[in-house]
Amino acid sequence: MTENLNESQLTAIYIGGPTLVLEIGGLRIITDPTLDPEGTSFKIDNKLTISKLSGPATNDVGVIDLVLLSHDQHSDNLDHAGRELMFKVGHTITTPAAAQRLKNGALGLSPWENVEIDLPDGRQMTATTTPARHGPSGTDEMQGDVTGFVLQVNGSKEFSLYITGDTVFYEGVLEVAKRFDPDYVFIFAGAAKPKGPFNVTMDTNDAIDTAFCFPRARIIPLHHEGWSHYTEGAEVLATAFSVLDIGSRLMILEKGQPTRLKFS
């Protein structure tokens, strides 16, 4: 259980890849659990294999109350150990297609649907699923359904977070910006290229577009290290944001270290 949070704070722990633990009002949430050790490989097809270049920051993420799963069909978003954890937790929010495949307490929500969650500290959190496109136009059928999430917490100091899920920057992200004004945006970066010459997650340009799309938010990249098909790391993002004099808006989490996030 996390220590008591005041109404303007939460804790984030970057585990690696797309995996983040959020502690909000006593509720512990994990995103896209990938917990297999370094060296684990996954065959995508007869010609392509992806591998884990580094393991998770810890093999013990503690008690988890809720899984936010952007999609289940790719191993760098749900690996073997992550799947075991997810089934133990028994409470997952994901896409309708993933929920149908996973069963076991998975709730499938289409974009813009939401669910109310009572936090242990007495507050309430609204989890809204958001659109995501896992690559350029024309790749939807190949890549399958993906979702992002907006988490809004009430109280005397309300705050919200946007977790993009595996997506590039496109009109769906712009629509999120029209509807929400998050304090933090967790982008799935890395310019992943598992198959073909195109990115299926945000590259540096996408990250900058997202930053200007959400001018008040701090940008926190996930999904930028630990897998063989990620092609851009945190250093590339930091350089690009610095060139545009918005370096103060980029926040790189230290792997495995709890970071207290504050809200104005």
d(CA 4, CA 162): 23
User: What pTM did the predictor assign?
Assistant: 0.94
Write a three-state SS string for 24-56: ECCEEEEECCCCCCCCCEEECCCCCEEEECCCC
Residue partners of 116: CB distance under 8 A and separation at least 6: 124, 125, 126
With bands split at pLDDT 50, 70 and 90, how would you rate the model's confidence at 9?
low
In the chain, where the domains are located: 9-262
Classify the phi-psi angles of 17: left when phi > 0, otherwise alpha if psi is within -120 to 50, otherwise beta.
left
User: Structure tokens of 115?
Assistant: 């669910």
d(CA 130, CA 127): 10
Q: 123 and 153 in contact (C-beta within 8 Å)?
A: yes
Tell me, what's the pLDDT at 162?
Answer: 98
Give residue-wise pLDDT tens across range 161-209: 999 999 999 999 999 999 999 999 999 999 999 877 899 999 999 999 9
Please compute the mean of the pLDDT values over residues 150-159 and round it to a whole number: 84
List the Cα angle 20/26/28 in 5-degree steps: 25
d(CA 25, CA 13): 15
On the question of pLDDT at 104 being above 90, the answer is no
List the Cα angle 95/99/101 in 5-degree steps: 120
Tell me, what's the pLDDT at 4?
Answer: 44
**Residue 153, strand partner residues:** 125, 159
| Count of CA atoms in the C-beta half-sphere (13 A) of 102 | 30
Classify domain 9-262 by CATH number: 3.60.15.10
Which helix (H) or strand (E) covers residue 177, if one does? helix 171-179
